[in-house]
Amino acid sequence: MSKTNRKQDALDYHSQGRPGKIQVLPTKPTNSQRDLSLAYSPGVAEPCLRIADNVEDVYKYTAKGNLVAVISNGSAVLGLGDIGPEAGKPVMEGKGLLFKIFADIDVFDLELDTKNVDEFVNIVKALQPTFGGVNLEDIKAPECFEIERRLKEEMNIPVMHDDQHGTAIISAAALINACELQKKKLDKVKIVVSGAGAAAISCSRLYVSLGATKENIVMIDRSGVIRSDRENLDSLKSEFATKRNLNTLDEAIKDADVFIGLSSANVLSADALKTMAKNPIVFAMANPDPEIAYELAIQNRKDIIMATGRSDYPNQVNNVLGFPYIFRGALDVRATTINEEMKIAAVKAIAELAKKPVPEAVNLAYNSTNLKFGKDYIIPKPIDLRLITTVSPAVAKAAIDSGVAKKIITDWDAYKDELHKRLGTEDALLRAITNKAKSAPKKVVFAEADNYKILKAAQIVKDDGIAIPILLGNKATIKQIIHENALDLDGVEIIDPFEETVRQKKYSEFLYKKRQRRGISLFQAQKLMRDRNYFGACMVEFGEADTLISGLTKDYAATVRPALQIIGTAPSVNRVAGMYMMLTRKGPIFFGDTTINENPTVEELVDITALIHDTVKQFNITPRIAMLSYSNFGSTEGEVPLKVRAAVKILHEKYPDIIVDGEMQGNFAINPALLKDNFPFSTLVGQPANTLVFPNLESGNIAYKLLQELGEAEAVGPILLGLNKPVHVLQLGSSVREIVNMVTIAVVDVQSKEAEKNIRKRGLFKKN
Ligand SMILES: NC(=O)C1=CN([C@@H]2O[C@H](COP(=O)(O)OP(=O)(O)OC[C@H]3O[C@@H](n4cnc5c(N)ncnc54)[C@H](OP(=O)(O)O)[C@@H]3O)[C@@H](O)[C@H]2O)C=CC1
Ligand SMILES: CC(=O)C(=O)O
Ligand SMILES: [Mg+2]
């Protein structure tokens, strides 16, 4: 895309539709006259009076606790300089947007038309009743230092100048990691800092407090190197004035290990870069254009670690990685300030997160197959959902430990779940299942290991300790894919069925014995065993693997067939069915049968429901089952409602312990108020159903696919129910995330089946 196009795109983005980037939305119902009388007069008087009695109740009855002011006077907007408060507003709205999407913090952006420090301070102080925190933004040095110092002293809510401390925290985390990768010691590195403003001074201060040596820092402003013999040096700049005989950036940069750019575009030339020490670290952080263009820098120094403030190159060192999560942590413990301890905790959390395996969603978003800690990935990417659960708890904990928190958190797991919920990533169940899988990982054989997605998923489940992968396929092909994509599958067993003559013989004889009276000759059995789905199913049957994952590249029936022939259905059930776990904003809802039984009879529907019930229980959830149709409790006499009604009757008689009801329409199943108002006799009254059984394959399949496609739910599955040993069949073309989820479910399935066997052995097992 050309530069002109990008400029026009940016203008269109801001102007089209509702101008700007943010709006205010009500958080309470406003549908009726009653709602309005609660929201406003007369009802609103009640919370007013409570707060008048106890001012801390403002956090209970208003939005204050989650509301941050992003305040600027437009005097140092990005690297664009003093462009004024109105011109700075798009940036402040942008910060508001980032606060919201990354940390669910609401923001009012306030652009103040004043450069007078006293006036600025007085205005912001007077805003204290409204806000839970204050993020100062793009205010130039030196005023920004006095403004922040006074506001911190005079206000009892957290105040942070983002360009100072947000930038310092992120760049410090990146610097620690870059030093490690370049094998340099922070206390030894020679640092040149271009810029001597808000960001540059605060970054340098933090580097020193983390171990850098002040004497090794040379700082440069518009007039050149800040020398201690310069006349009229203000106290801030004199803090980093050097005694060395240097005048220009070109002189200072020679043999330097680190360049920190917090000034303006293109101040560092390629020639100057060439004179830096071996393995240089260059953070050119001026926005929107860095001190040296990314391409120019990497062309001229192959040994460089290069970062910019921009999102379109590797290593984005930008305060967006910090401010949303720092304020989230501070607000959640009602911190009265943001202190050094909280900042250092954030630095460490961010630096350490960069060393952990990168989630697939992040790889996908950056069009990468395997981001990992290294020269092009020194800090996490801003869209990494783990930032909120890593940085915010670290900050909150530091606030508590350093005595500035008014609210104490003790249950950190619950806090992390709450953070996930805030971002609408309420996959607490999936996390619980993952933890269960990790507690006793199982051997998972992947039948389609000559596929990149399968191998990537195998690496993830291995790294996360969810499973012990076994790869089936041609060894050379698998190794080549691993090599080409820099995957790490060292130590993972690869089995080529063609090389396994002993197993081939054993397995084909077994299959022949099992199916000889159902049309399979020994020759055919030997031929079938070359199919990895047959071979893998035999491995599971013989206990050489615990479960099989397949189906990414073959149709469902072709993958299920070998499992049915070799493993067969469990003795207690006489059929198989398929189920999806739909992770919706209202929590998990199980859908079945979505994959196997086209038009079940009444009896079949009963069996399927019992099967689904038992499987949902595996996830430590009490199934509340709604049997769906297009009518409610006899309201229509159609063929399908009659079938479902008959199935419900049998279920009530045969399995009185199962919470199940119907036939009912989908909305009544998941809306408890609607059900109670209209059918108060239903056994499902009280809470919504969490398990939906569909009358036939068509309706189940359509329902889950629509939800998935509309972005209303993440579908985990299909979970194959009823086999004697777990085999799970992927959806054709599943993503890596979907494969990982399926493996996780498969491992838990193995664990549950083992537990079930143990109970049976002790003679305690009783099927509902
Ligand atoms: N990536 C990130 O996360 C962040 C990046 N930044 C970037 O850092 C830069 C500075 O921001 P901030 O500190 O808030 O602004 P300030 O206005 O407080 O400071 C700017 C500093 O840069 C110096 N400067 C300007 N041009 C030059 C030049 N050609 N050569 C040397 N020094 C120069 C100024 O020198 P003098 O003192 O002589 O005027 C001043 O010291 C901006 O480009 C901003 O976008 C800031 C915050 C976060
Ligand atoms: C990123 C930022 O805050 C700045 O460039 O000013
Ligand atoms: Mg800024």
Q: Where are the domains of the chain?
A: 21-161, 162-319, 322-423, 436-546, 577-722
Q: Is the CB of 222 under 6 A from ligand 1?
A: yes
| Among 95, 263, 285, 306, residue to substitute to test ligand 1 (most atoms within 8 Å of Cβ) | 263
DSSP letter assigned to residue 310: -
CB atoms < 10 A from the CB of 68, how many?
29
Mean pLDDT value across residues 391-415: 97
Please indicate whether the domains covering 322-423 and 577-722 agree at the CATH topology level: yes
Q: Is the CB of 236 under 6 A from ligand 1?
A: no
436-546 classified as CATH 3.40.50.10950: yes
What digits encode the pLDDT tens for the residues 211-247?
999 999 999 999 999 999 999 999 999 999 999 999 9
Contact status, residue 748 vs residue 441, Cβ threshold 8 Å: no
Q: What is the pLDDT of residue 24?
A: 93
**Residue 707: pLDDT above 60?**
yes
Contact status, residue 450 vs residue 473, Cβ threshold 8 Å: yes
> Which ligand 2 atom is at minimum distance from the Cα of 79?
5
CB atoms < 10 A from the CB of 329, how many?
32
Q: Using CA atoms, how far apart are residues 1 and 7, in angstroms rounded to an integer?
A: 10
Nearest Cα neighbor of 434 from 732, 716, 725, 709 is 716
Mean pLDDT value across residues 88-107: 96
Q: Is the CB of 83 under 6 A from ligand 2?
A: no
CA of 75 to the centre of ligand 2 (A): 12
Q: What is the pLDDT of residue 570?
A: 84
Mean pLDDT value across residues 487-493: 93
CA of 193 to the centre of ligand 1 (A): 10
**Strand blocks (E) in 427-489:** 442-446, 467-472
What digits encode the pLDDT tens for the residues 139-193?
999 999 999 999 999 999 999 999 999 999 999 999 999 999 999 999 999 999 9
Q: Using CA atoms, how far apart are residues 570 and 574, in angstroms rounded to an integer?
A: 7
Contact status, residue 262 vs residue 205, Cβ threshold 8 Å: no
What digits encode the pLDDT tens for the residues 531-566?
999 999 999 999 999 999 999 988 888 889 999 999
What digits encode the pLDDT tens for the residues 4-42?
556 887 998 999 999 999 999 898 888 888 889 999 999
Ligand nearest to the CA of 222: 1
Which carries the bigger pLDDT value, residue 403 or residue 413?
403
Contact status, residue 249 vs residue 221, Cβ threshold 8 Å: no
Report residue 216 as tokens: 């090794």
CATH number for the domain running over 162-319: 3.40.50.720
Confidence of residue 371 (pLDDT cuts 50, 70, 90): confident
Report residue 408 as tokens: 């104490």
Q: Is the CB of 202 under 6 A from ligand 1?
A: no
Confidence of residue 767 (pLDDT cuts 50, 70, 90): very low
pTM score, two decimals?
0.71
Surface-to-core class of residue 706, CB atoms within 10 Å of its CB (0-12 exposed, 13-18 middle, 19+ buried): exposed
Q: What is the pLDDT of residue 756?
A: 66
**Residue 766: pLDDT above 50?**
no
**Residue 579: pLDDT above 70?**
yes
**Residue 370: pLDDT above 80?**
no
Lowest-pLDDT choice from 49-58, 486-495, 646-655, 710-719: 710-719
What percent of the chain stands above pLDDT 90? Answer: 77
Ligand nearest to the CA of 317: 1
Q: Tell me the catalytic residues.
A: 95
CA of 93 to the centre of ligand 2 (A): 13
Cβ contacts of 81 within 8 Å, gap of 6 or more: none
Q: What is the pLDDT of residue 759?
A: 46
Mean pLDDT value across residues 682-698: 95
What digits encode the pLDDT tens for the residues 373-386?
999 999 999 888 89
Confidence of residue 433 (pLDDT cuts 50, 70, 90): confident
| Among 260, 262, 266, residue to substitute to test ligand 1 (most atoms within 8 Å of Cβ) | 262
CA-closest residue to ligand 2 atom 6 = 78
> Which ligand 1 atom is at minimum distance from the Cα of 171?
3
Sign of CA dihedral 685, 433, 444, 757: negative
| Sheet-wide strand order for 624-628 | 659-664, 624-628, 691-693, 587-592, 577-584, 713-721
Q: Is the CB of 319 under 6 A from ligand 2?
A: yes
Mean pLDDT value across residues 737-760: 82
Helix, strand, coil shares of the chain as percentages rounded to 5? 45, 15, 40
CATH number for the domain running over 577-722: 3.40.50.10750
Q: Is the CB of 163 under 6 A from ligand 2?
A: yes
Q: Is the CB of 265 under 6 A from ligand 2?
A: no
Q: Does the annotation flag 583 for ligand binding?
A: no
* DSSP assignment of 360-391: HHHHHHTT-S---SBTTBSS--TT-THHHHHH
Ligand nearest to the CA of 147: 1
For the chain, give the mean pLDDT.
Answer: 92
Residue with tokens 């496609």: 709
DSSP letter assigned to residue 311: T
Q: What is the pLDDT of residue 352?
A: 97
Mean pLDDT value across residues 705-727: 88
Q: Is the CB of 197 under 6 A from ligand 2?
A: no
CA-closest residue to ligand 2 atom 5 = 78
Fold of domain 21-161: Rossmann fold (3.40.50)
CA of 262 to the centre of ligand 1 (A): 5
Nearest Cα neighbor of 374 from 355, 357, 387 is 355
Q: Is the CB of 121 under 6 A from ligand 1?
A: no
CA of 163 to the centre of ligand 1 (A): 10
Nearest Cα neighbor of 226 from 241, 205, 243 is 241
Q: What is the pLDDT of residue 578?
A: 93
Quick check: helix, strand or coil at residue 116? coil
CA of 237 to the centre of ligand 1 (A): 13
Q: Using CA atoms, how far apart are residues 301 and 280, in angstroms rounded to an integer?
A: 8
CA-closest residue to ligand 2 atom 4 = 78
For the 322-423 domain, the top CATH level (class) is: alpha beta
For the ranges 257-271, 425-439, 586-600, 619-633, the one whose mean pLDDT is highest: 257-271
**What distance lies between CA 365 and its chain's CA centroid?**
12
